[in-house]
Amino acid sequence: MQIWHKSSDIPADIGSTVVTIGIFDGVHKGHQVVVQETVKQARERGLKAVALTFDPHPRIVHNPDAPMPLITSLADRLERLEAAGIDAVFVQHYTLEYANQAPEEFIESQLVGMLHASVIVAGEDIHFGRQNTGDGQLLRTFGTAIGLETVIVDDVCNLDDGRRWSSTWVRDLLRAGDVRQAAEVLGRPHRIRGIVQHGFKRGRQLGFPTANLPGVGVGEIPADGVYAGWLVRTVPETKATEHLPAAISIGTNPHFDGVERTVEAHVLGRSDLNLYGEEVAIDFIDYVRPMMSFGELDGLLCQMDDDLRTAADVLSVPVAGRVDPESVTAH
């Protein structure tokens, strides 16, 4: 898949294209339907399927004082668009000046002029241009006048309650700790990324060495608690992708009166991993329990032993107990 950041990146012989527009944060099931229709329209016409996306997220630009972590990194977003069959993505640097374009100017100058669109595919909730005054109806009307075909894809909704698949819904679920339902909306487990750093090494001393991700770089961090999931890494020696079963803790470690919120992942049964300085991903599969403070260390250890058994059961892997602190190789 080609990735374009400026007009000069676009091949001169690109020809006509089928273009879809969106932030695609999370590339959830609703996005996937729109992308699939884009690819279908392109294949039927023998054209390139192109996605126009934006970075940074427009809401961050318009409301810089209201932080909004992304569900997925730009790299993950691009990877998932490629997996869906998109041939090229134009990553538009989003600014207030860019946002102030009239909707008609956006259609004519960027979609048609720059991206060579002959067909536009969009969800029915599309809004664009100055103050979001452009919508599906304007796209159809103005597009028809300049020879641009428009395909509007109906919203995709959850069959159980009719709620529309959306990035907002995913964020609501993650903030409630419901990573299983979030995966249903996303079509895959929720993922965060971060660099493994040194911590207090309390887990190592107790037989539960962890990969610590303070201030996780990318991804909406779920609610505080303990989760079952996978630590995903690229093995430096082979460049192979490795999925390691893990019990994951999110919070401030109330038993030890912690104050900094961190993500810590204990890979079940492993004491031989040295992950310091590596960028790893965490895929969340299910919620196990809330964060708790224990009166005595024995109570904490008993609960953590139970957490390992629960995580192994959720992930359908063999149960692994605490490791020997002396066997931990990372320093």
Active site residues: 264
φ and ψ at 78, to 5 degrees?
Answer: -65, -40
DSSP state of 114: I
**Exposed / middle / buried, residue 99 (Cβ in 10 Å: 0-12, 13-18, 19+):** middle
Q: How far is CA 131 from the centre of its chain?
A: 27
Strand partners for 247: 228, 266
Q: Which SS3 state, helix, strand or coil, does residue 284 take?
A: strand
Q: Are 38 and 18 in contact (CB under 8 A)?
A: yes
Task: Supply 166's token pair.
Answer: 């959306």
Q: Which residues contact 40 (CB under 8 A, 6 or more apart)?
A: none
List helix spans (H) across 7-149. Answer: 29-45, 58-62, 74-83, 96-99, 103-105, 136-145
